[in-house]
Structure 1
Amino acid sequence: MKEVKIKKSILKMLFAFLILFISGLLLTFIEIIAWEENGWDMRLLGVFLALTMYFFPCSI
């Protein structure tokens, strides 16, 4: 019974990692497309959010 719980939690962690990584990629592409139209504060926010989505799963 404990082994099943471990496998489920590993799958949940992998799924969360993939979701955050893919959303980080998406946000990066949106940031690149809209780079010229945004002010410096929106650029900084977009880069910070993309980096957070990339590196947050690595700290889990």
Structure 2
Amino acid sequence: MGTRGLVGEKWSQRILWLCAIGSAVGLYMVAVERQAQNRERMMAEGLTSLDGAHSQSRGEDV
């Protein structure tokens, strides 16, 4: 009756750390992806506003 379950305490702590590190890596990857999407969106909006200003300066209707 000396066993505390199927997984020993040392291994359960290693599994817990592995899950925590995996979660941190996943969150980091999501943050990087959102940052890239925001950067693309800002550049697209900048180009759209530049294109609109350029068209108006030439007297064209948008």
TM-score range, shorter chain: 0.5 to 0.7
- What is the CA deviation profile of residues 10-57 of structure 1, one whole-angstrom value per residue up to 9, with x for unaligned ones? 0000000000000100000000010253xxxxxxxxxxxxxxxxxxxx
Equivalence for 2:10: none
Cα deviation for residue 7 of structure 1 reads 0.2
TM-score, reference length from structure 1: 0.58
TM-score, reference length from structure 2: 0.56
Aligned length: 37
Describe the SS at the equivalent of 1:34. helix
Of all paired residues, the percent bearing the same amino acid is 5
**Larger Rg computed on CA atoms:** 2
The one-letter code matched in structure 2 to 1:16 is A
The one-letter code matched in structure 2 to 1:10 is V
Structure with more of its chain in helix, by fraction: 1
Runs of 4+ in 1 over 2 A off after TM superposition: none
Equivalence for 2:50: 35
Unaligned segments of structure 1, at least 5 residues: 38-60
**Distance in 2, Cα, partners of 1:14 & 1:35:** 31
Unaligned segments of structure 2, at least 5 residues: 1-15, 54-62
